[in-house]
Each structure stands twice: as structure tokens, then as C-alpha cells.
Structure 1
Amino acid sequence: MQALARKTHLSRLITVGSYIALLALLTLWYLVVHPLEKGNSWIIWLLHVLPLAAFIPTVRSGNPRGHAWLCFLLLLYFNEAVLAATTHTETRTMGVIYGLLVAVLFTSAMMYARWASQYARLKHTTENTEESS
């Protein structure tokens, strides 16, 4: 049970760190490094950040089911990262970093959802057996 608690805690730390890093990367890319010429970069930035920002309460609370839903959303971001890495030479580096960051976030959120659910189930089972004896 201790090993499962450690794995859950570590995956949560990695999830929170990579989530914040992804939001920062998108902000830097769309508003600072590669803004649009027409000055509407903030609209593109909002389209990228708002779906992720919707999961701020989930990431803060540590809800395993919400982390699983975050993984579904991250599949769209991964597709965009692969396109950015393979289509234009000017976005190649950002696309690779973006893809790696999304892959780390996806994996850590998925493992957190799995381990946190297992830990909660195990903790609930342990508490029930202690109460019955």
C-alpha cells in the first residue's frame, strides 16, 4: 500500500508540473515567440488554453476520473504537436518540445488516474475490514 501511495504522489507531481509547463509553453509560443502578424494572437492562444484551463479544478483536486478525461483532450494537442513538428521547419523545435510535454502529461495523468483509483479502492477495502473486525 505504501508503494502505491508513493507512485500516486509522484505521478501527481509530474502531472501538475507538466500541466503548468504546457500552459506556459502555449502562452510563450502564441503570445511571445511566434505571434500572428495581424495581432489576433490572443484569440488563437485562448482557443488552445481554454480547454486545458477547464481542467484546473480537476488537477487541483486530484480527481482520478477528471485526469482520465484530461487524457482524452490531450490526444488533440498531441496531434497538433506532431503536425507542428513535421510540417514547417520554423515550428519543428517547438513541435518536438510540445509533443514531448504532452506525452509526459498524458502518461502521468493516465497513471495517476489508475493508481489513485486503485489506492482509493484499497484504502476503502482496508477501512471496511478494520471496522468489521
Structure 2
Amino acid sequence: METLHKKVRLSRSLTLLSFFGLLLLFTLWYLIIHPLETGKPWVIWLVHMLPLAFFIPTMKSGNPRNHAWLCFVLILYFNEAVLAATTRVDTRTFGIIYALLVVVLFTAAMMYARWASQYARLSREQDSNASHV
């Protein structure tokens, strides 16, 4: 049970770190480092931020089910990250960092969803067994 609790804490920490790292990367890239010449870089920034912003309450609450839903959304981000890393030279570094953050976030969120659910189930079973004794 203690090992599972450590896994939950580690995956939660990695999830939070990579989630907010991804938000920071989008902010830096689209608004400061590589803004579009159209004069409205905040529109592209907003398109990238809004789907993830819906998961901020999930990041606060730690709901395992919503972490699993985040993984489905991350598939779209991974596709874009691979394209950014492989299609243009000026976005290669951004794409590689972007892809790494998405992979870490996906893996950590999925493992958190699994381990946190297992931990909650085991805790309920232990509480149930303790009340029957």
C-alpha cells in the first residue's frame, strides 16, 4: 500500500510539472519567442490553451477519471508536436520540447489515473474491513 502511495505521489508530481510546463511553453513560444506576423498571436495561443485550461480544475482536485480524459485530448497535441518537430527547421526545437512534455504528461496522467484509482479502491476495502472487525 505504501509503494502504491509513492507511485501516486510521483505520477501526480510529474503530471503537474509537465502540465504547467506545457502551458508555459505555449505562452513563451506563441507570445514571446515566435509570435505570428499577423499581429494577433494571442489567438493561436488561446486555441492551444483553452482545451488544457478546462483541465485546470482536474489538476487541482486530482480526479483520476479526468486525468484519463486529459490523455485523450493530449493525442491531438502530440500530433501537432510531431509535425512541429519534423516539418520546419525553425520549429524543430520547439516541437521536440513540446513532444517530450506531451509524452511525459500523457504517461504520468495515465499512470496517475490507474494508481490513484487502485489506491482509492484499496483504501475503501481497508476501511470496510476495519469497520467489520
TM-score, normalised on structure 2?
0.99
Aligned to 1:42: 42
Counterpart residue identity of residue 35, structure 1: P
Shift of 1:34: 0.6
Percent of residue pairs bearing the same amino acid type: 64
Aligned length: 133
The corresponding residue for 1:82 is 82
Tell me what 1:21 maps to. Answer: 21
SS of 1:38's equivalent in the other structure is coil
Note the C-alpha offset of 1:91: 0.4
Q: C-alpha displacement at 1:40, in angstroms?
A: 1.1
* 3-state secondary structure, aligned to 2:38: coil
Match of 1:110 in 2: 110
Backbone CA RMSD of aligned residues:
0.5
Alignment partners' CA distance in 1, 2:71 and 2:27? 20
Distance, in Å, in 1 between the alignment partners of 2:81 and 2:40 is 21
Return 5+ residue gaps in structure 2 as ranges.
Answer: none
CA distance in 2, matches of 1:128, 1:111: 25
1:8 aligns with 2:8: yes
**Which string of whole-angstrom CA distances, capped at 9 and with x for unpartnered residues, describes residues 16-57 of structure 1?**
011110000001000001101111110000000010011000
1:117-128 aligned at under 5 Å gives the runs 117-128=117-128
Post-superposition shift, 1:72?
Answer: 0.5
Q: TM-score, normalised by structure 1?
A: 0.99
- Counterpart for residue 57 of structure 1: 57
Residue 112 of structure 2 aligns to a residue whose secondary structure is helix
CA distance in 1, matches of 2:50, 2:16: 17
Give the match's secondary structure for 1:121. Answer: helix
- Counterpart AA for 2:85: A
Off by >6 Å, runs of 4+ in structure 1: none
State the distance in 1 between where 2:35 and 2:131 align: 60
